[in-house]
């Protein structure tokens, strides 16, 4: 067999995609570039996997990570992700991260029925699946067109350094694989392996540091939840306080420890003056519930705040409209806090109106937090 080298250039990308996709879907092997190292791509089915095991000199039965074209494809293989995992996917993918996702028993059964035993058996092991979403145009284009799921472990025999150049791929596998896609200068820009992150019901754990450090994974997987009203002196601060207490109780820590454990709860106003304290009535109502707004200072919502937030809950529809006017791409992350309708502004009213408003916000926050955690 002669290993063909296809140079990824502007004029022949479509032809290369068609050639590689046809090869992979028919059970062949191809080395494709990613942003980390070259990967040996093959169809996720037993015969192709056995061939891959043989040329990598790897023991049979070990699983390889599924490679996907884009973050949205994860839901086809992992039906349920927790809030920190969703934050990591949104902020870190495509990128040099391999996710090892733990599935529930029911989700595993559903996946087996959906994908079939043959594909399921080569992708899932011990209740987990490894998933990689490369940040490389050639890899993404190829993966988006294949009919079958594709795995693509690093292009190296077991125990050897991963190939980061076409020549190194050929040194290892010339004559053993059908083709190599030469990704040019965009290929393997990181020159090292992806970071491997275990995602389970109890949290996130870095199994192997690679391009990204443990600290960087922690930052990317931090969940930022924002509550927004008009002046950020009553409704949204109350919602923030209720949410912080709910999260602390849920993950068994103190309120001032939730950020260390991966949750940032904030509040803003679309017309706020920075630095104003919470309204006297809001302070009084929450103090009676054992919560404090003494240190709260109002903050004007910015476009950067919108982009950083994983979820934004607003008190009224006009707040959502204002946010979307600032960032039209935020629509999938902005929701009414109370799904039944607007939470009216109690500003200028008495303590009883504030108390009723706080009760409604507390119930709505609890409902929303149950959906998230």
Which residue, 204, 163, 206, is CA-closest to 187? 163
Helix (H), strand (E), coil (C) string for 105-138: HHHHHHHHHHHCHHHHHHHEECCEEEEECCCCHH
Residues 6+ apart with CB under 8 A from 307: 327, 330
Rounded CA separation 209/3 (Å) = 33
Cα-atom radius of gyration of the chain, to the nearest Å? 25
Q: Check: CB of residue 38 under 8 Å from CB of residue 163.
A: yes
Which is it for strands 97-102 and 195-200: parallel, antiparallel or unpaired?
A: parallel
Other CB atoms within 10 A of residue 189 CB:
16
Which is it for strands 124-125 and 128-132: parallel, antiparallel or unpaired?
A: antiparallel
Q: At what angle do helices 235-250 and 280-287 cross, to 10 degrees?
A: 30
Rounded CA separation 54/63 (Å) = 14
Residues 6+ apart with CB under 8 A from 341: none
Which residues form the catalytic set? 229, 235, 345
Counting Cα atoms < 13 Å in the Cβ hemisphere of 272 gives 29
Other CB atoms within 10 A of residue 261 CB:
16
């Amino acid at each position: 067999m002669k290993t063909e080298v296809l140079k990824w250039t502007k004029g022949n990308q479509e032809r290369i995609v068609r050639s590689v996709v046809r090869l992979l879907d028919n059970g062949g092997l191809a080395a494709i570039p990613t942003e980390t190292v070259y990967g040996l791509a093959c169809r996720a089915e037993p015969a192709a996997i056995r061939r891959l095991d043989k040329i990598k000199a790897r023991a049979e039965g070990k699983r390889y990570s599924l490679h996907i074209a884009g973050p949205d494809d994860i839901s086809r293989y992992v039906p349920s992700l927790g809030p920190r995992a969703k934050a990591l996917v949104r902020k870190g993918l495509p990128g040099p991260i391999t996710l090892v996702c733990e599935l529930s028993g029911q989700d595993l059964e559903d996946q087996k029925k959906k994908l079939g035993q043959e594909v399921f058996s080569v992708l899932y092991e011990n209740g987990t699946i490894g998933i990689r979403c490369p940040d490389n145009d050639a890899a993404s284009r190829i993966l988006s067109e294949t009919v079958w799921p594709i795995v693509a472990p690093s292009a190296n025999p077991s125990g050897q350094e991963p190939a980061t150049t076409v020549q190194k791929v050929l040194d290892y596998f010339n004559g053993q694989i059908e083709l190599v896609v030469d990704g040019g200068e965009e290929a393997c820009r990181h020159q090292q392996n992806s970071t491997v992150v275990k995602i389970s019901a109890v949290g996130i754990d870095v199994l192997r540091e690679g391009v990204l450090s443990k600290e960087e994974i922690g930052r990317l997987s931090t969940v930022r939840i924002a509550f927004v009203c008009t002046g950020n002196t009553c409704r949204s601060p109350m919602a923030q306080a209720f949410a912080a207490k709910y999260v602390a109780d849920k993950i068994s820590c103190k309120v001032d420890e939730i950020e260390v454990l991966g949750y940032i709860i904030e509040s803003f106003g679309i017309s706020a003056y920075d630095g104003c304290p919470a309204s006297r009535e809001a302070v009084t109502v929450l103090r009676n519930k054992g919560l404090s707004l003494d240190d709260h200072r109002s903050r004007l919502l910015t476009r950067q705040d919108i982009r950083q937030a994983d979820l934004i809950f607003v008190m009224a529809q006009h707040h959502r409209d204002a946010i979307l006017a600032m960032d039209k791409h935020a629509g999938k992350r902005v929701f009414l806090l109370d799904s039944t309708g607007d939470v009216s502004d109690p500003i200028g009213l008495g303590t009883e109106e504030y108390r009723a408003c706080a009760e409604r916000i507390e119930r709505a926050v609890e409902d929303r937090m149950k959906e998230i955690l």
